[in-house]
């Protein structure tokens, strides 16, 4: 006789599946660094994703999320930082930051 899984097991399985679906989402962040005026609002509002470059003072993606060292303005972030990145993008006085959800 086959024993039915407990309700607890079913819930844990559902949560795991939901979490796996969220992890498959990919979010990209881009900064048009040439147009950046080094205001610093993005770094102040979302320091997990943005920082100011020591050499030119312009915004860049933090090393942890940067896609390459050749392009300081291109990154991929986890979902947990999307809201703060969007707030920072909206606060940018020259609107040079974009946050997009990409197909996984």
CB 87 within 8 A of CB 79: no
- Dig out the tokens for 20 from the structure: 């796996």
Per-residue pLDDT of 67-88, as tens digits, reads: 999 999 999 999 999 999 999 9
pLDDT at 90 over 90: yes
Mean of pLDDT values over 56-72: 97
The pTM of this model reads 0.76
What distance in Å separates the CA atoms of residue 7 and residue 10, rounded to the nearest whole number? Answer: 5
Q: Sketch out the chain's domains with CATH numbers.
A: 26-102 (3.30.70.20)
CB 97 within 8 A of CB 41: no
Per-residue pLDDT of 13-55, as tens digits, reads: 444 444 444 456 889 999 999 999 999 999 999 999 999 999 9
28 beta partners? 76, 100
Distances (CA, A) of 26 to 9, 11, 23, 40, 95: 28, 25, 8, 25, 22
């Amino acid at each position: 006789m086959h024993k039915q899984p407990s309700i607890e097991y079913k819930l844990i399985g559902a949560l795991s599946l939901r979490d796996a679906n969220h992890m498959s989402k990919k979010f990209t962040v881009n900064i048009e660094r040439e147009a950046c005026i080094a205001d610093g609002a993005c770094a102040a509002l979302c320091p997990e994703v943005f920082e100011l470059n020591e050499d030119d003072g312009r915004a860049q993606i933090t090393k942890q999320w940067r896609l390459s060292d050749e392009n300081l303005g291109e990154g991929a972030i986890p979902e947990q930082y999307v809201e703060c990145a969007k707030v920072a993008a909206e606060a940018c006085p020259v609107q040079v930051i974009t946050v997009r959800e990409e197909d996984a």
